[in-house]
Amino acid sequence: MTVADDDLRRLAMDLSEAYRTGVPIAPIRDSLADGGIEAAYRVQQLQTEQWLAAGRRVVGRKIGLTSEVVQRQLGVDQPDFGVLLADMCLTSGEAVPFGAVLQPRVEAEVALVVNRDLVEPDLTIAELLRAVEFVLPAIEVVGSRIDGWNITILDTVADNASSGMFVLGTRPVKPTDIELRDLAMELTVDGEVVSTGAGSACLGHPYRAALWLARRLASADTPLRAGDVVMTGALGPMVPLVPGAQVAASIEGLGTVRTSGATS
């Protein structure tokens, strides 16, 4: 079965209204059930089209739900993806603007930047490795327009993979200089360790997550483009971000990236 496009447009508008008002909405999974995950991605696409029409700019993609720990937290069993927009990007040390992300949480990730268009649906790992220009430590500030984070994979996919903002480190590392699978991560809030993990928590390896994404996007004729940022997925559990909190993610071999929750 399918869901009528008018109904999908209504759901996209409901999510847009949550962005505008700062008031989360009830879960939308029941309205998407007949169309499944493809209907949810259609809602995401409709929102993206609205953003582009308003002058916003896509600068990459994020992969969500790559960590088994995070999958258990949210009750899902597969990754998803969403778009990254230029106005979602913060530099290490910048605060997350107050109210910019609904129900914000933070998680530490490895970010990749690619140096060519990845248009091959059967992209190999060797081709992917050649296309990675550099890697960075990153913090994703995830958010949900669904009340209480009461989500299934249909809710989160439609809601741009629960994206909010992302914070990038400023010291690029050559991919040949580090083994991402073995690196250790430590996330602190106000100096207290609140989350730990490793590169292997991200689908076994951040490159495996990136390869899954690149193939998925190429098959949909919406490939990663040269210069795109790829947020490869959480290395450990996400934690809430409250106003005034000082957050630091230290990733072995990549360095530390920082952000905070603005108070007003």
Provide mean pLDDT across the span 123-143: 97
- Per-residue pLDDT, 75: 67
Torsion (CA) 189, 143, 152, 77 in degrees, nearest 10: -50
73-91 confidence digits (pLDDT tens): 666 777 999 999 999 999 9
Long-range contact pairs involving 252-256 (C-beta distance under 8 Å, separation at least 24): 252/183, 252/184, 252/185, 253/173, 253/177, 253/178, 253/179, 253/183, 254/110, 254/135, 254/136, 254/137, 254/169, 254/171, 254/173, 254/178, 254/183, 255/137, 255/169, 255/171, 255/173, 256/92, 256/137, 256/169
Task: Report all structural domains of the chain as residue ranges with CATH numbers, in order of start.
Answer: 58-261 (3.90.850.10)
Predicted model pTM? 0.95
Could you give the CA distance from residue 98 to residue 102 in angstroms, rounded to a whole number? 10
Tokens matching residue 86: 């230029």
Q: Is the pLDDT of residue 261 over 90?
A: yes
* Higher pLDDT among residues 187 and 2, named by residue: 187
173-226 confidence digits (pLDDT tens): 999 989 999 999 999 999 999 999 999 999 999 999 999 999 999 999 999 999
Q: Is the pLDDT of residue 71 over 90?
A: no
Stretch among 20-34, 63-77, 79-93, 239-253 having the lowest mean pLDDT: 63-77
